Amino acid sequence: MSNPWKEISLDDYEKHMSLGSVRQLQAMNSIMKEQFAAYPVDTAIVLGIAGGNGLEHVSSDKYRKVYGVDINADYLRAVSQRYGQLSGVLECLHIDLINEAERLPQTKLLIANLLIEYIGYGAFQRAVLQTAPEYVSCVIQINTDEGQWVSESPYLHAFDRLDEVHHQMEEAALTAAMNETGYSLTLQESYPLPNGKALVRLDYKKHHH
């Protein structure tokens, strides 16, 4: 069975995420600006890059290499076209994180926003171990009410199959999984969204013994 993320058009995804009722693309963009600026690193990897939202905050003065990973090759083609100014810094990698984590390069910073929901904690731990970053910055979506986890929108039908792969996220469970992997929580920030949801940013740093 193919991964449903291979079937969702970037246009549907981005239009849904930008709607006034959802506002996630805009919120994520300002969070990513902070993620790219937060740490003294010169390499980063973004897992689940989609259309590259946030990459305009990558400074080629600071970063010598940023990898964008996605399971959808069309998304990666769009990213390469949109961010031509990052040529030489940005490298797109077509990787299925659930089955091909061993293909990930090592970087100092790993960013995973609205991704862990779709691969689960175990696959995320494998990706972190393979990348071996000093810092990990994640954004997960928390439902603060009992509503459905995809906000109502005219594009909803595009996401029908995501139920097959979606895991409800919990801050405590992610932090426990990261502790097992050798990382401790250093930052937790919540960004409320419309529709009784919130984005939660959780950052972790590698333990040094």
The CB density around residue 71, as the number of other CB atoms within 10 Å, is: 22
Q: How far is CA 57 from CA 43, 77, 89, 128, 204, in A?
A: 14, 19, 13, 23, 21
Give the per-residue pLDDT at 166.
61
Average pLDDT estimate for 132-150: 80
pLDDT over 90 at 31, yes or no: yes
Q: For residues 147-168, b (16+ Cβ closer than 10 Å) or e, as one string?
A: eeebbebebeebbeebeeeeee
pTM of the model: 0.87
Average pLDDT estimate for 162-187: 85
Average pLDDT estimate for 179-194: 93
- Among 4-13, 61-70, 96-105, the range scoring the smallest mean pLDDT is 4-13
The CB density around residue 184, as the number of other CB atoms within 10 Å, is: 12
Q: What tokens were used for 76?
A: 């990666």
Q: Give the phi and the psi of residue 199 in degrees, each rounded to 5.
A: -95, 135
Q: Can you tell me whether residue 182 is helix, strand or coil?
A: coil
Give the per-residue pLDDT at 134.
98
pLDDT over 60 at 149, yes or no: no
Average pLDDT estimate for 107-118: 94
- Scanning 46-152, the segments in alpha helix (DSSP H) are 73-82, 97-100, 116-131
Average pLDDT estimate for 65-81: 96
